[in-house]
Chains A and B, each alone.
Chain A
Amino acid sequence: MLLDFLQQLGHRSLSIFARLGRASQFLLVTLMALPSVVMRPFLLVKQMYNTGVQTLLIILVAGIFVGMVLALQAYIVLVDFGAEESISLMVSLSILRELGPVFTGLLFAGRAGSALTAEIGLMKSTEQLSGMEMMAVDPMKYIIAPRFLAGVISVPLLALIFMAVAVLGGFFVATDMLGQYEGVFWSQMQVKVDFYDDVVNSIIKSAVFGFVVVWIAVFEGYDCVPTSEGLGQATTRSVVYSSLAVLGLDFVLTAVMYAV
């Protein structure tokens, strides 16, 4: 009984480490294949459309609502202290420091990451990747590298759009709904939001999230068991792992950037 348990534990740990090793090796090969994207810029543009532009709608809608809700909640709390002119501060700081990058990472994992995993996994199970190898075209260069790079570029841009839209959402609620002066809203933000501490750090955060989410998504697709069941599991794993990675990394990055 105990031996069985130990054996299973060992077996599982070994397979986890083997997978981690494969994922790291995969990342290395992907990074080495990146220069070849320069030779085929049309692939990068196509993938940026597929992953970036196609995710734009959900980012815009989510951004505007998150900003609006935040402004409302901020007003409810702040009005008791007569500090309702700080709405813009609360909205912009929480968006920039946390919600912008995290929401974008999670939405990107759900919308684009899962699609990447499913697409690459299906290519594997329909032998398209093998077929490419036998035509002497390296799928790492033709399929993986452009998708990886497109994702890594797209996520920070999407995060910036998300944050801009969210602040605008907060602005509309604060001024049109709650009757705050426009000047108050913007001047509070201008005084208290720091370019490097807040804006640059949030771009760094979203770049890290983008890197990890896309890495997980393409790896899960490339490494999936080429059956319908295996593909389903890989897609699920892609979304679950990348969401958890975004949340975990967010804590680490926040600790490094703001607390320590």
Chain B
Amino acid sequence: MNMDTPINTSAQPNDILIEIRNLHFSRGDRPIFDGIDMDISRGQITAIMGPSGTGKTTLLKLIGGQLKPDAGTIKVDGEDVHKLSHKALYDLRRRMMGMLFQSGALLTDLSVYDNVAFPLREHTHLSESMIHHLVLLKLQAVGLRGARNLMPAELSGGMARRVALARAIALDPQMIMYDEPFTGQDPISMGVLVTLIRSLNEALGLSSIVVSHDVPETCSISDYVYLISAGKVVEHGSPAQLAKSESAWVQQFMGGLADGPVPFHFKGPSIMDDLMQSGLG
């Protein structure tokens, strides 16, 4: 794959929703991103995968404007996220973005119903009866209309994520960012979430970004995949293209192999040296 040209698998090559250019970000002395370029197309599900600790969640926070990059630009719908004023950034978030946090991030003192109604009450002047209809429809979409009177503490992890999803689509955003949606889910909840992400994307005409390291689930629903590691985009392409990649690293990651370019053993002296030393000591 050619890493230099902007990348797109869909028929409309100019329909880019998010454009990331030369992104640098570090935490303390540790560089997280070292010059990343990405194009995320409208109407597609784009997956960002990589080993734990490569800053996938950080990338979502950068796109959402919650963190500032050291260098580089992120444009969402043509607007440079980090050059916006506080108010313009909040406007952009309200218009464009929904985010599904790993924990769900439901407000614990509000019921399921009130959680989904929260963005509607904050940002619209709809009547309560209108909000009631909308909330029930959103909850219906994630299959939890019957759970509307429960409190967040009474929900299982998978249910909490579905409620959070209903809340994220409450204001009909144009894009949704999913932060590790499959982590820690049992097979049934996982299947439900996989289906939901795909079907919502189609039904609502969304663009989705899925950050994950669950390779088979993510590949089964995504149109395009970016693999990042050590602050760089290692490879990108459709899931089928990645499966055929010749890079040993990509093969190891996609196949979940224990040893390869990413060694099984953490860096250290050889076991012989270690044993000899402790034996003498």
Q: Which residues of A contact B (CB under 8 A)?
A: 126-128, 130-138, 142
Chain B residues near A132 (CB-CB < 8 A):
107
Q: Which residue in B94, B101, B119 is a CB contact (below 8 Å) of A127?
A: B101
In the assembly, what is the distance between CA of A137 and CA of B91, in Å?
10
Indicate whether B118 reaches chain A with its CB closer than 8 angstroms.
yes
Q: Which residues of B contact A (CB under 8 A)?
A: 61, 64, 66, 90-91, 93-94, 97-99, 101-103, 105-108, 118-119, 122-123, 164, 167, 171
Other than A133-B93, A136-B123, give 14 A-B pairs with Cβ distance below 8 A. Answer: A126-B105, A127-B102, A130-B101, A130-B105, A131-B99, A131-B101, A131-B105, A131-B107, A133-B66, A134-B93, A134-B101, A135-B119, A135-B122, A136-B90
CB A45 to nearest CB in B, in angstroms, measures 14
CB A206 to nearest CB in B, in angstroms, measures 29
5 nearest CB pairs, A to B = A131-B105, A136-B94, A127-B105, A136-B93, A134-B99
CB B210 to nearest CB in A, in angstroms, measures 16
13 example contacts (A-B, Cβ-Cβ < 8 A) are as follows A128-B106, A133-B64, A133-B66, A134-B64, A135-B93, A135-B118, A135-B167, A135-B171, A136-B93, A136-B122, A137-B122, A137-B123, A142-B122
In the assembly, what is the distance between CA of A126 and CA of B103, in Å?
7
Are B93 and A128 in contact (CB-based, < 8 A)? no
Are B108 and A134 in contact (CB-based, < 8 A)? no
Chain A residues near B91 (CB-CB < 8 A):
136
In the assembly, what is the distance between CA of A131 and CA of B163, in Å?
13
Chain B residues near A131 (CB-CB < 8 A):
99, 101, 105-107, 164
In the assembly, what is the distance between CA of A128 and CA of B90, in Å?
16
Are A137 and B101 in contact (CB-based, < 8 A)? no
Chain B residues near A135 (CB-CB < 8 A):
93-94, 118-119, 122, 167, 171
CB B238 to nearest CB in A, in angstroms, measures 28
Closest to A29 in B: B86
Are A128 and B97 in contact (CB-based, < 8 A)? no
Q: A131-B101, A135-B119 are in contact. Are A126 and B93 (CB under 8 A)?
A: no
CB A246 to nearest CB in B, in angstroms, measures 29
In the assembly, what is the distance between CA of A131 and CA of B168, in Å?
10
Are B123 and A130 in contact (CB-based, < 8 A)? no
CB B99 to nearest CB in A, in angstroms, measures 4
